[in-house]
Amino acid sequence: MTNGSVRTEMNFCPRGEEVIFYPTDRKRSRWPFKPHDVTIHDLRPLRGELSFDRNGFVLVNQTSACQDFYDADEVERVYMPEVIDLVTRLTGADKVIAFGVMTRTNNTEAEEGNLPAFGAHVDYGDRTVRMFSEDVLGAEEAARWLEGRYMLINVWRPIKVVESAPFAVCDASTVAEG
């Protein structure tokens, strides 16, 4: 392919199949899949044209003062405030909460919960967003914020040059409702 596009096979769950995923115990998981040929495009040249409302994601260049993304204390103290500031600037949100720091790797020595996913998936649904909001804010404050417009934003960043198990997102503008 040209222009940074590649053709590959990606696993998708067939319509109507139930998926049960235990990230820390993958042998217990039930993730039926059907491979599909897909074209993956490098959207970095189009980063200025992407929007949450149309595409479901944006790409940004954002440096970090965090020196060690494997140090949980430093990530909490340095990186999480940066993420909250970034999301606030990108969305204009009145309130941003951050949770669920995860460092992904395909290192064979890694814990199962840190491994890349099996295939195409949605990370969090509405129920999970509400649950985490209540955990972080408390039930009463969460209920107040969840009455208005809200969204979950996953913030992903490569810690080093990605040479395998690359990250991809689905452009919402390319998906038919059916």
* pLDDT value for 2: 56
Give CA 107 to chain center in angstroms. Answer: 19
Q: Which two tokens stand for residue 118?
A: 């099996």
pLDDT per residue rounded down to tens, the chain (178 residues): 457 899 999 988 888 888 888 888 888 988 898 999 999 999 889 999 999 999 999 999 999 999 999 999 999 999 999 999 999 999 999 999 988 888 888 887 888 888 888 788 888 889 989 999 999 999 999 999 999 999 999 999 998 888 888 888 999 998 887 7
Beta strands in the chain (DSSP E): 6-12, 34-40
Predicted structure pTM score: 0.85
* pLDDT value for 24: 85
Q: Which two tokens stand for residue 44?
A: 């970095």
List all residues 6 or more positions away from 129 whose beta carbon is below 8 Å from its beta carbon.
150, 152
